[in-house]
Chain A
């Protein structure tokens, strides 16, 4: 079974530039998550989709971050414009969607973003 795919794996940009990350979840998984992981911390949920609808985006900095999930499958996360503090690993995860309290999440390898 193919896992969660993410690209690119690494990205270096200057502050105020834009960047986009792509995620392809496991086939059949209804729920898709984007996390931000700053060095030395645990992952922090940015946004959660159920099919192509947003379930939780309470921690997404909406003035600069946006995300969409096309046709309930692939997803993109965009940062525009980037700030130095956005340097982090961006993780995508997916799950069947039977309930957040019991669902098993499967994570991709992440995209390491460095903002200079």
Chain B
């Protein structure tokens, strides 16, 4: 089972940090964790991915638990443009990425 579990929706205030959780309790040692987001009326866009260590890029940070059964996407300072559906996806070997329904993030001005 390559599924992940995410909350259906979250809200956050503008200019505050946002922590988006994801559970992947059946993950194996070689599976990557990918995050994509989909802004309204657009195709999904890549946010970040990682294997074991925490990862940072210009968009976000990815914190992976030591047992790798969960991870958190961190947006350091949310803006209105970060309102989107965020997908947490396990990358299993050469298998296709399977998108769930994601977390709909609402930013409150």
Chain A: residues with CB nearer than 8 A to chain B? 4, 33, 35, 40-45, 48, 56, 91, 93, 99-102, 104-110
Contacts and interface: CB of A to CB of B under 8 A. Distances in A.
8 contacts: A43-B44, A45-B98, A56-B96, A99-B94, A100-B96, A105-B46, A106-B45, A109-B42
Given A44-B99, A101-B32, 15 more contacts: A33-B96, A40-B101, A45-B96, A45-B97, A56-B96, A91-B43, A93-B44, A100-B93, A101-B30, A101-B31, A101-B94, A102-B49, A106-B46, A107-B43, A110-B43
Nearest to B44: A107
B97 A105 contact: yes
Interface residues of B, number: 24
B7 interface: no
Kindly list the 6 A-B residue pairs having the minimum CB-CB distance in the complex, ordered from nearest: A107-B43, A42-B99, A101-B91, A100-B94, A104-B46, A43-B99
A20 B97 CA distance: 25
Contact of A107 (B30, B32, B45, B95): B45
Contacts of B32: 101-102
Contacts of A106: 45-46
A42 B43 contact: no
Contacts of B99: 35, 42-44
A4 B46 CA distance: 13
B28 to A, nearest CB: 11
Q: Pick from B42, B93, B96 the residue with the most CB of A within 10 Å.
A: B96
Contacts of B31: 101
B18 to A, nearest CB: 20
Interface in B21-67: 30-32, 36, 42-46, 49
A91 B96 contact: no
Contacts of A101: 30-32, 91-95
Contacts of B42: 109-110
A8 B36 CA distance: 24
A101 B92 CA distance: 5
